[in-house]
Amino acid sequence: MRHRSIHWFRKGLRLHDNPALLAATRDCTELYPIFILDPWFPRNMRVSANRWRFLLEALKDLDENLKVLNSRLFVVRGTPAEVFPVLFRKWKVTRLTFEVDTEPYSKQRDAEVECLASEHDVQVIQKVSNTLYDVDRVIAENNGKPPLTYVRMQTVLASLGPPTRPVQAPTPEDMSDCCTPWKPAYEERYGVPTLEELGQDPESLGPHLYPGGESEALQRLDLHMKRTVWVCNFKKPDTEPNSLSPSTTVLSPYVKFGCLSARTFWWRLAEVYRGKPHSAPPVSLHGQLLWREFFYTAGAGIPNFSRMEGNPVCVQVDWDDNAAYLKAWSEGRTGYPFIDAIMTQLRTEGWIHHLARHAVACFLTRGDLWISWEEGQKVFEELLLDADWSLNAGNWQWLSASAFFHQFFRVYSPVAFGKKTDKNGDYIRKYLPFLKRFPAEHIYEPWKAPRSVQQAAGCIIGRDYPKPIVVHEVVRNENIQRMKVAYAKRGPPSTVDAKEPGQSALKKSRKRAAAAATPSVADIFTKITKSGKN
């Protein structure tokens, strides 16, 4: 049978390592690649102009790459439930292909689309390629429960073997008997929209540091893979959260949107590592991809993963509801220059270093402001180019000591941690230029500078820049006591993974890690915070 196929692009905005796209081209006479601008997302998620720009650039690049195959991208407006019945009839579709997505809304949406396809006698093919492994299989291998420790995750994955190798991008030969009907009138109806059409103000955009798209992703990957010594020696805790240029790859936005396949990234790293001494998970670049896999698996297997209530692995904490504190934190007005510089970089550029995320997340939650991690999750969801539902929820639970990490007495200092890698405060001077004339001894704590120094710097604390929103040394100790109370009120062990709840999970993780002569995740975290705590 010769098919008329729709391939539905969602996260996998690429041609390389896209097995569902290849499946669409087989025995195909007409191929319709589509992307649906689903109004559910802007209604239910906050998305910054920077992130919209990245998405639109990725779509434009995808369209250009499809043109090489004598195809085009159709950008369709509407909900999938409304769109597909119309397209099935209009294009006489017999097959629909797409990449598996494990997020709650996506699973519900895809199940509904499968039912619609069945009603229209349309074959549905789904392929795993957003993650290194099929997360459902990982959960099945772990007795039907998502692993709750990184070490347990490594054990399960070791039993599955290495990730599947990526598939090749489709070639013109693959499309030789397949065409994409395209009419000039389609440019207006199905073309990639502008920011203005999406209601976004181009004037609100930050600097254009990370252009979207598969072409850019593969170029950046190639550049990094040529740095063989750096790749082999990479250890995440040794990178700098406040370097003036990124000390990591910044490939995360490209992996999030699927412009770069995680499997392609994994196997390119494996080629660089081959025959050379290199760092190992959890701190290596392979380790960073496994962190992604860990949180994707947790997000797929833990109910209510992005919320505190109803989440069986999350400590229930009586967080404060303080809108003024939350607003000051999100806008970079806490009076702590290191924290405010990070949040300013996030708001303007759409990316911050992983350890910078640690610092501001700890500050908002258990460290200083005692605001729920769910509120921080929303801000990151809006502003981060690489905001990914599973990773965002998992990391916020980790940093708030609500799940996965339980040493709540390990607190990042909003002063000492930044000084560790930037004593002169150059990062602060870049993102908070009104503080740039403060001497190094006062740049992290300008409120302690004598009035004469503040006057000479042209910035009076309390007038031109706020005083500290809280006294860290005081609230840190108060919040540790509050966390002790929350932990004391915890209910029975989690039903998600009863063998590894809470502190016992951490102890087992440490024992396994020691047996393998590998530092535990908790030890890695301790190393990161050792000189920046309190």
- List residues forming the annotated binding site for FAD: 248-252, 288-295, 386-388
Q: Is 495 helix (H, G, I), strand (E, B) or coil?
A: coil
Task: Give SS3 for 129.
Answer: coil
Residues 6+ apart with CB under 8 A from 459: 434, 435, 437, 438, 446, 465
Cα of first residue to Cα of last residue in the chain, in angstroms, is 68
Q: Cα–Cα distance between 232 and 284 in angstroms, integer?
A: 8
Cα–Cα dist 71/528, whole Å: 49
CA distance 31 to 318: 53
Binding site members: 248-252, 288-295, 386-388
How far is the C-alpha of 123 from the C-alpha of 107, rounded, in Å?
18
Tokens linked to 293? 């896999």
What is the token pair recorded at 265?
Answer: 């990234």
Residue 320 bridge partners (DSSP)? 371
Cβ pair 413, 534 in contact under 8 A = yes
Closest to 88 in 3D by CA, of 6, 33, 182: 6
With 0-12 CB in 10 A as exposed, 13-18 as middle and 19+ as buried, what is 437?
A: middle
Judge whether 376 and 364 are in contact, CB under 8 Å. Answer: yes
The neighbour count for residue 254, using CB atoms within 10 Å, is 29
Report the distance separating Cα 422 and Cα 127, nearest Å: 45
Distances (CA, A) of 186 to 28, 73, 180, 235, 465: 21, 10, 12, 48, 52
Give, to the nearest 10 degrees, the angle between helix 214-225 and helix 49-68.
Answer: 90
